[in-house]
Amino acid sequence: MDVSATLKKIEEVQRYKHYGRIHRVVGLMVESKGPDASVGDVCYIHPSKSDNRRITAEVVGFQGENILLMPYQELMNIKPGSLVEATGSPLSIKVGKGLVGSVLNATGEPMDGGDHPIGLQSFATEQSPPNPLSRPRIQEPIELGVRAIDSLLTVGKGQRVGIFAGSGVGKSTLLGMIARNSSADINVIALIGERGREVREFLENDLGQEGLERSIVVVATSDQPALLRQKGAYTATAISEYFRELGYDVNLMMDSVTRVAMAQREIGLATGEPPTTKGYTPSVFAMLPKLLERTGTSERGTITAFYTVLVDGDDLNEPISDTVRGILDGHFVLNRKIAEQGRYPAIDILGSVSRVMNQIVSRTHIEKASRLRSLLSTYEENKELIQIGAYKKGSSKKIDEAIKKEPELISFLSQDMNEKAPFETTVAELEELFLADK
């Protein structure tokens, strides 16, 4: 028995409970006189002596000597003088292999109201990004089972990618497809700010039983307080980090990072931050790199991360899109026009890029992918002339080849959502597209 470790835990136990009292409530913010607490600490608000309920809240700032708290749930029966109890520690969650196949809320509790499986351990949701010098380079691809991505936008183990699209273009369906087909050991999926109806639809239609059996899903719906939506992103990232430290290759999929930024904006405005670019507060742009840099490679395992980004009116240059694109290692753009043509997945190959592809695939693979991109680009540049019949065959050898190959290329890039495309097969099919040219 390790006596020193036991004594250390006894010393860490708080001998006294610290309390404060609510002073006022303004909008989302609760202001209290005391207790002794730090920013990020969890506190419990006790509505009244006769009410045994307690409302969990977090310290988000200070106003003079008063503490500013933001609740994790709706405020009910709160009045001036209600007790505020300090826990002395930030939010932590229970993690372990027993969570695989479960659906959790933003604080890591089972959504079905059941108990946690035994054998879990506590893990803080707030973690620092790994030291840049301790991060191994990305050197091998990860199979996603999506032909358009594996062939032309190959993703490496530990890469972080943004999926940019407007609403209803197929982000959730693409994430479900990756979760089912990927060669990763485990998936951690964060559904942040989703409609309540969409959660079950994603679980049953997009993810399916096959995908859920190797996934942990964290849900924070749009009706929940802003702090809970923000915590959902931190909880999912912390679970991914736990499994990475065990040596696993993890896929983290967050839908969507835009709603996390919106939640942070609500928190910032409530604490008195000034709105800046398009109403977003400075803390939003400080929070994003801290959150996104936590994923990637480590000395033990990898987190390959996919963050969906909602683009209003398909504007890829709005503040959140621009910031996220600058932090991540690549971006996939889903195009509404491609989706309207009935082509799936609706990835705009020419507008998308994987920044590590050239480091992780063979020279032949790079050459064939560049050739396909070149043909697609040539066809798109001359599309209007071709469609109205203004282009005369024989005017350009390059355009003639693009017209001839276009049906084959579109067929290659199209894939049914229930179809799995193994990586080796995809690369072989890419090379076969140009065998007849030799």
* pLDDT computed for residue 143 by the predictor: 93
Beta bridge mates, 86? 43
What residues have CB less than 8 Å from 350, skipping those under 6 apart? 373, 376, 377, 380
State the Cα–Cα distance between residues 148 and 360, nearest whole angstrom: 16
State the Cα–Cα distance between residues 293 and 160, nearest whole angstrom: 9
Contact 303, 130 (CB under 8 A): no
Read off the amino acid at residue 274. P
Taken in order 233, 236, 241, 247, the sign of the CA dihedral is negative
Contact 68, 59 (CB under 8 A): yes
DSSP-derived 3-state class of residue 398: helix
Comparing 17-89 with 93-361, is the CATH topology the same?
no
> Where exactly are the structural domains of the chain?
17-89, 93-361, 364-433
* pLDDT computed for residue 117 by the predictor: 84
**What burial class does residue 363 get, using C-beta atoms within 10 Å of its C-beta: 0-12 exposed, 13-18 middle, 19+ buried?**
exposed
Written out in words, the top-level CATH class of the domain with range 93-361 is alpha beta
Just give the CATH number of 364-433: 1.20.1270.330
* pLDDT computed for residue 292 by the predictor: 94
For residue 225, is the peptide bond before it cis, meaning its omega torsion is within 30 degrees of 0? no
Q: Which CATH architecture has domain 17-89?
A: Beta Barrel (2.40)
**C-alpha distances in Å from residue 179, one per residue of 65, 175, 243, 300:** 48, 6, 16, 22
State the Cα–Cα distance between residues 166 and 47, nearest whole angstrom: 42
Is pTM beyond 0.85? Reply is yes
**Buried-state track 247-256, b at ≥16 Cβ within 10 A, e below 16:** ebbbbbbbbb
Beta bridge mates, 252? 188, 305
pLDDT digit of tens for each residue in the chain (438 aa)?
566 766 666 565 555 677 888 888 887 789 999 888 888 899 999 887 666 788 889 998 888 888 999 988 888 778 888 889 888 888 889 999 999 989 999 989 998 877 888 888 999 888 888 888 989 999 999 999 999 999 999 999 999 999 998 877 888 889 989 999 999 999 999 999 888 888 888 888 888 888 899 999 999 998 888 899 999 999 999 999 999 999 999 999 998 899 999 999 998 888 888 888 788 999 999 999 999 999 999 999 999 999 999 887 656 778 899 999 999 999 999 988 888 888 889 999 999 999 999 999 999 999 999 999 999 999 888 887 877 778 778 778 888 888 888 889 999 999 988 888 899 999 999 988 876 554
Contact 159, 304 (CB under 8 A): yes
Tokens for 181? 């087909």
